[in-house]
Amino acid sequence: MPRVPVGPVVLYRIWWRSRARHRGIRYWLLIQGPVVLIVLLALFVINGFAIGWRDAYEVTVQIASPWQTGQPWVAVALSLAGWLIWPSVTGAVAGYVITDATSSRRSRPAAAVGGRFIPVLGRRGVSEEFSRYFLFLHERPRVAQSDWEKIVSAFLYTDAISANANPRERIAQAVSAAIAFVGAMPDRRCPICRSQEATGEG
C-alpha cells in the first residue's frame, strides 16, 4: 500500500480541517479567539506608540478616559475594545475552563475513542482495508489524503455527530460516517472526485 507523505503543509491542513471537532466556547477560543486577540494587541501597540504605554494600559482597563490623552481619537478605539471585548474574552476563557473541566470528568473513560485530528490514511484511526480501497480510487496518495480529509471534515458539521460528544469522539464518529458513506457509493468512486468532475462538466 502506498504511504501518504505527511509534511508541515499536510499537518496544518489536517489541523484546520479538524477544527469542527470543537463546539461552542472552545471552537471560538481556538479558531476565532486568536483573531480577536491580534486585533486587540494591534490596537494596544498603536496606542502605545501614539499616547504612551502607561496611558494605553490605563485606557484599556478603564482607569483613564481616552479624552485625557494626547491623541483621544486614537485612544477611543482602544477604550471601546477594552470596555466591550476584554470582558467577553475573559468570560469566554472562564467558561471554557469550567466546561472543559466538567466535560473531561464526565467523558474520561471514552476519551481515547478517537484521535485528536482527522487520521492519515494507512495509519492509526483508519483501517488498512479501507485505506487501500480509498487510495486505489486515486492516482496520487496526496490527492487521496486531501479528499479523505474533506469528507471527514464535512461530516463534522452534520447531525451524524453527537452534539454531546467530546472532540475525540466527534473525530471517531466522523471517520466512521465517512467510511460508511464512501463504502455505499454505487460506482466505486471518490465522492469528492465525482463532484469535481460534475462541476467541471457543468
pLDDT tier for residue 197 given thresholds of 50, 70 and 90: confident
Written as nine digits, the cell of 183 is 463504502
Instruction: Please report how the helices 141-156 and 128-136 are oriented relative to each other, as an axis angle in degrees rounded to 10.
Output: 110
Q: Mean pLDDT, to the nearest integer, of 51-78?
A: 88
Written as nine digits, the cell of 191 is 465522492
pLDDT tier for residue 109 given thresholds of 50, 70 and 90: very low
User: CA 157 to CA 50: how far, in whole Å?
Assistant: 44
Reported pTM = 0.68
C-beta neighbour count of 191 within 10 angstroms = 18
Percent of the chain with pLDDT over 70: 87
pLDDT of residue 181: 93
Minimum mean pLDDT range among 37-41, 49-53, 93-97, 106-110: 106-110
User: CA 194 to CA 192: how far, in whole Å?
Assistant: 5
Q: For residue 62, give the nearest of 89, 81, 43, 42 by alpha carbon.
A: 81
Element (H, E) at 98: helix 72-106
pLDDT of residue 151: 96
- Residue 110 pLDDT greater than 50, yes or no: no
The region that residue 183 occupies, defined by phi over 0 for left and psi between -120 and 50 for alpha, beta otherwise, is: alpha
Residues in the chain: 202
